[in-house]
Structure 1
């Protein structure tokens, strides 16, 4: 949700966000600085740019450019090292929010419910066409799922102690740094929570998106825990799926490919079809 500019001559990447997001941007800058001081395998702010830069209605952070080899794609196993390093921290000297995926989901549902004009019309027509339901009925179904998960999360038996977590840990957030070390970027969701949450995307990718199961097995061996065999798996899987279903709902108009895939995903949550494959949004 940022505008990102690569400035080759300056050797930096600029991430710009609306000024309304200044609290998050400030926190991300502090997290990146703290991780850098600790030598963690994470993306670095550009030298001398530890503070965000605000101008008009925008606020930006400036990061060291890490050019990547053409066609370079990281595998899930490459996540293990950065995540183990982050999870070794019970806290850092930055005030971090508590992990709250259901709060984020509820916020997205409220945003979708408050749409007006053409955005509301598109979403209402989509709900009726795809499911024979009103938009309110679809959103009520998702709210019910959210409420059920809130109860289930209270009863989860955690394997690992709470720690600093990345919060959005997937291979697409990995980069090679200038020394060839694998580092993780996109620190917007860093929080205090269950490390198991960072292990879910790799396991869920093998379940829903047709990712090579051998990649997840290698990731689990390298990290030291197979989350799909843990007591938290079923609940966290359902949280992840609800997150992936709700993330695009408020911004669906003008994105026909996303709207079509969202309908497939939502249909499987309505029917409880766990084994149905999903496609990634394009």
Structure 2
């Protein structure tokens, strides 16, 4: 990868044009959908382009394409990588190209979410090597964002992460380990133009405890109220296991709350609303208070 410029709204379009030239697709009238860890563009033709912020992600984006090809060969309904040689280097930023399944993001019903997770867990592993899930290593890599918080909140989160890490190391998982999505939840299963469910966001694929693909649905129901009891019971019935019946659920749920909070803490230095939301979240975790008022970001 070459020396790279920062990924901003101004530079991202230039990277897009250079990436599109290499795979011979037309960037005219491309629309910037999102600018975060990736710049995500929707082209005039049904193609999504993701331009990574960091060249160090080239291994990860290469694996995303491998995962997409594997799932396609298995006939599994996931986002498809465009049939081009990728990723490509856009001035030091890896770019990938994906078939757009819909012009809007409509989330699948919870029954279909559970079915896709179950079907994923039933697949034979791919021929290439997936990384082992290392959830606390992922948290460690993000601890620098604690500098954006006041000292008391930062110290509390560090201590809590240490406690959860120790408890996690003693867990006995009831489900057999295997291939996991890593961030499975209703937000990552969208409906295609034909109304069929499609799994998206393949960057967290790994081998590890399958409970990680169940915890967010339980958390969204139990603590946030984003799923109804009926929806959660449907999820459990379709998948075939209730993670909330397992004693280790609270450890995984606590991890997910911290992960969501650290992600938002990354925005806290430049966004007063994000900073206030992070403080509110930390207070609710510290006090054991309700999470029902956690605002989406």
TM-score, normalisation: structure 2: 0.81
Q: Which digits, 9 at most, give the CA deviation of each residue in 1:175-220, with x for residues without a partner?
A: 2235542111100111111111111111111122222222111111
**Most deviating of 89-98 and 195-204:** 89-98
The structural deviation recorded for 1:6 is 0.7
Find the partner of 2:135 among 69, 88, 101: 101
The structural deviation recorded for 1:15 is 0.9
Aligned-partner Cα distance in 2 for 1:163–1:192 = 5
Q: Which digits, 9 at most, give the CA deviation of each residue in 1:29-75, with x for residues without a partner?
A: 111111111111211112x225211121221111111125x683323
Residue 58 of structure 2: aligned partner: 22
Aligned-partner Cα distance in 2 for 1:33–1:89 = 14
1:258 and 1:281 in contact (8 A); partners too: no
* Aligned CA-pair RMSD: 2.0
Residue 294 of structure 2: aligned partner: 279
Residue 34 (structure 1) aligned with residue 50 (structure 2): no
Q: Which digits, 9 at most, give the CA deviation of each residue in 1:133-188, with x for residues without a partner?
A: xx2x4323222211211211122121110010001111111122355421111001
Residue 195 of structure 1: aligned partner: 210
TM-score, normalisation: structure 1: 0.85
1:200 and 1:236 in contact (8 A); partners too: yes
Aligned-partner Cα distance in 2 for 1:106–1:278 = 27
SS in 2 for 1:248: helix
Residue 165 of structure 1: aligned partner: 180
SS in 1 for 2:84: coil
In structure 1, the gaps of 5 or more residues are 116-122, 128-134
1:166 and 1:190 in contact (8 A); partners too: yes
Aligned-partner Cα distance in 2 for 1:108–1:231 = 27
1:30 and 1:50 in contact (8 A); partners too: no
How many residues align? The count is 259
Residue 250 of structure 2: aligned partner: 234
SS in 2 for 1:150: helix
Residue 74 of structure 1: aligned partner: 108
In structure 2, the gaps of 5 or more residues are 1-36
Find the partner of 2:80 among 44, 50, 59: 44
